[in-house]
Amino acid sequence: MSAADLAREPSRARDVARRLARWFARHARDLPFRRTQDPYAIWVSEIMLQQTRVETVLGYFERFLARFPTVEALAAASEDDVLAAWSGLGYYRRARLLHRGAKAVVERFGGVLPADPERLREISGIGPYTAGAVASIAYDLPVPAVDGNVARVVARLDAISDPAEQQAGHPGIARRAEAVLAAGRPRVLTQALMELGALVCTPKAPSCDLCPVASACRAGARDLQAAIPAPRKKVAQPEARFVALVLSWRNAVVLTRRPATGLLAGLWCPPLVPTRAVRRPRSPRTAMERLGFDGTIEPLPGPWVRHVFTHRIWHVAPFRGTLRTRPGGEDVTLWRPGSPLPGGLPRIARKVLEAAGISAN
C-alpha cells in the first residue's frame, strides 16, 4: 500500500463518502433499477449492464422483469424464451448463465438470493463484481463492486501510478473501495462511485471542476488525471466475411440455429455462409446449394453489413431470395415477421433483416 491510500486514512474515506452521498442525492440519474432494492431485479440489471450502455439496457430491463417478474418465473422459463427476451442485447452467454443461476437460486436457496458474497459467488454467472453489487445495493453491506468506472475513480483518488494496481481486479482497488463504502451507506456509495465514473470521472477529459471529491483527489492535485489509468495498447481485431441469405417461404422468413458452441451459439439467424470474397459476391448460388436450398436469389443493394463484436468484426453481404420448396431440418425454422421470435435473435441478424426491409423489433 502506498502512503496515499483511502484504506489507511479513515477520515479521508469518510470525507469522500460524505461528499459522494450528497452529490449522488442531487445528481444521480433516475434509472428503473435504482427504484428497487429487490436483489433479483438488481442482479438482472447488473448482468445486463456488463459491457452494455445504460441507454441500451433501459427498455430491456423493464420488459425482462415484466416477462420474468421473479426468480422462480425465470427459473421455470425455457432457454429459448429467455434468449428471445434478451434478443439484441448481445453477449448471450450472460443470459444463459443468469437462467442457470436462477434455477440454482430456486433449488439451493429457496428462491432468495443470499446476502453473503461467498454464497452469491457459488451461483452461475456471479463473479466478485456482481456479488459486490447485489450485497451492497440490495443488502446494504460494505462489499465492493469494482467495475472499470469504479476502478478508475479509486485509482485517480489515490493517484495509483502502477498500471497493474489500477486494474478492477486488483485487491488494492477493492480494499480502497471497501473503505469508502464502510464509511457510509454502502447501498448509496456503491452506486455513487459507479455514477461518478460514468458521468464526471470519465476515461477521457474528466470534469474535475464539477467533481464532488476533487478536494480529496490526489491525481487532480498532481495533474495526473490523463495518465491514470495508463492507456491500454490496442489489439487488432480479426475480421471475417459472410454471405447472408434472407429467404422467404410463403410469408415467412427462414432462420437457422447457430451451432451449439462458438460465437452466437444456439441463436437464430438468417443462414450465414463464410466467404473469402473481399468484393461483394455476385451470386451466392453455391451457398444456396451447400445449404440444400432451392430457389431464386438476388443481391440486396447497399454496402456490407458490418458488426463489431468485442474481439472481432464481421462483414456480411446480404442477399434476398424466394424458395421453391419448403425448407426442413431441426435447426431451421420459419418465422413470420411480427410474430414472437423462436428464440434469441442477435443484433447482426436484425441488421441483415433490416437490410431486406424486415423489422424484428
Residues in touch with ligand SF4 (CB under 6 A)? 153, 156-157, 200-201, 206, 208, 211, 213-214, 217, 219-220, 225
Q: In Å, what is the CA distance from 85 to each residue of 47, 89, 111, 171, 342?
A: 14, 9, 21, 36, 11
Q: Which amino acid is at 86?
A: W
> First CA to last CA across the chain, in angstroms?
51
| Residue number, 166 or 225, with CB nearest to ligand SF4 | 225
Instruction: Say if residue 163 is exposed, middle or buried (CB neighbours under 10 Å; 0-12, 13-18, 19+).
Output: middle
CA 258, 262, 268: angle at the middle one, nearest 5?
Answer: 20
Q: Which three cell numbers stand for residue 92?
A: 448471450
Q: Give me the least distance between CB of 74 and ligand SF4, in Å please.
A: 37
* 225 in Cβ contact with 253 (< 8 Å): no
User: Which residue is catalytic, options 9, 46, 62, 354?
Assistant: 46
Q: Give me the least distance between CB of 211 and ligand SF4, in Å please.
A: 3
* 166 in Cβ contact with 151 (< 8 Å): yes
Q: Give me the least distance between CB of 233 and ligand SF4, in Å please.
A: 22
| Residue number, 96 or 156, with CB nearest to ligand SF4 | 156
Which of these, 111, 146, 147, 90, lies nearest to 39 by C-alpha position? 111
Helix/strand/coil for 105: helix
Per-position b or e across 37-72, b if 16+ CB within 10 A of its CB: ebbbbbbbbbbbbeeeeeeebeebbeebbeebeebe
Active site residue 239: no
Please identify every residue annotated as catalytic.
46
